[in-house]
Structure 1
Amino acid sequence: MPELPEVEVTRQSFAERIFGAQVTGASLGKPLRWPLGVAPEALRDQVVGAVTRRGKYLWLPLEAPTAARGGLLLHLGMSGSLSFAPALPPAGAHDHFELHTSQGTLRLTDPRRFGAVLWSSSQAEGLAGKLLSTLGVEPFDAAFTAGYLHGLLHGRRVAIKQALLAGDIVVGVGNIYASEALFQAGIDPRTPSYRVSLARCERLVEAVRGTLTRALALGGSTLRDFRDTHGMGGEFQLQAQVYDREGLPCPRCCTAVKRLVQGQRSTYFCPRCQKR
């Protein structure tokens, strides 16, 4: 699933190119998770503003003097990707939304159709507001501190890796990045959340930010089909320390990396370097 690094890399790959473009039309393919929420022709003649990201969602603001202001909230789902170019090949079976503009066509491709494109009058209203209101802080926000993390982990008995993946404390720390951050912080992924001390939270905040920073620099991770709007894949997975390295030596102590399943997701860790 595309996580924060992949979504941010996607945003960066087309945000400047689509800024200021006038919408000339929109077309829909097979239904996605939610309906668009507006007739496609209602988007015509609106102008695309500055594309932003919140967690794993992208917001495309749309403005027009003769129409109500609003925007499109996009989610890539489990296997989605965006393309943006002056000309694209004819839409295929897995291409489910196209926004045609004076500067190119933005296309959502999603084989599993868990992605979404929905119109809302603002990020705080309608379905968009409901979806975004449940999200935790951004990992690079000043609000994401050891004290903040420690306070929200207090009383939670769920394993720390599950708490990171939930998204209501901090957004965008997906499966790969949670495993890597916990390794960097020296915390066993099975540790109950309430047992993570303030000092360990300090290490974990730093590890989350450091891991995501490296992932952004490497274009995110491509395990199957992630591509940015230029068609480029990520390379973070090639430099992972523990993720997908079951049985291989830990880069710190040479102990064999172990794998376990938490919440139907694979977790990788070093049983020697990571303590409960």
Structure 2
Amino acid sequence: MNQVWFVTGSAGGIGAGIAQAALAAGNLVVATDLDPERLQLTYAAHAAQVVTARLDIRDAAQSEAAVEAALARFGRIDVLVNNAGFGQFGPFEEIEPEAVERQFATNVFGTFNVTRAVLPVMRRQRAGHVINMSSNGGFKGVSGASMYSATKFAIEGFSESLAQEIAGFGIKLTIVEPGAFRTDFLDGRSLKLGTRELHDYADLRAKANAVFEARNHNQVGDPDKLGRALVQIAGEIDPPLRFVAGADALKVIDDTLRAVADEVERWRSLSLSTGF
């Protein structure tokens, strides 16, 4: 049976790579994004297989309406990909509180909204697969991206716990931790910077901005290949809780695991001393 995929933020970038890979495998897709015109252009050749819907994931009512549209057309949802989001970068002290709230409203609470709308469908089906897009920055904090990393750490904790809560209903969950993929993520459309420039952070800010400029559209990851990998994972009987995507992300996570293990061991005796 063909699967029905519900993919947020799928007008371009990783989301489009995932949705196109699902279509190429013969599946049906509900493609959502803030930009309906871009959605129409992206999926014009797949009208019979695709429902497109404008979706601001910060709006719970819109999430519910998009799910209802999916059910009206296809009758079920088998795979949810929570991909929509953006990067709020810059040192923490340079980011105004309103920008922090927008970052969490989209990356965290928006993911909650869509998941909350889809889970009742999957529970009724007693089947489904939730794929939550995190980042290697959700496994290791990144200097100059504290707020983005904070949202991705939140998604990781949420996902680990949720996976246990929904397993009894036949619903699987996978956290995806990509490295740098060649998308528009580092363009102004997806990347936001703090506006409160403080002299003490000038060097850090300059170095971070130089990295963004050098990497923009030169990232090593291929969104289409990531999409094909996730289609494979969605077909597995026993999919991973975590999928690390890209050689750069693997290095970050391997190095972090070793560093954490070393630090735990260094302080083991003091840790054990805190009991009665």
- TM-score of the superposed pair, with normalisation by structure 1: 0.30
User: Of the two structures, which has the highest relative contact order with CA contacts closer than 8 Å and spacing of 6 or more?
Assistant: 2
- TM-score of the superposed pair, with normalisation by structure 2: 0.30
Query: Higher helix fraction: Structure 1 or Structure 2?
Result: 2
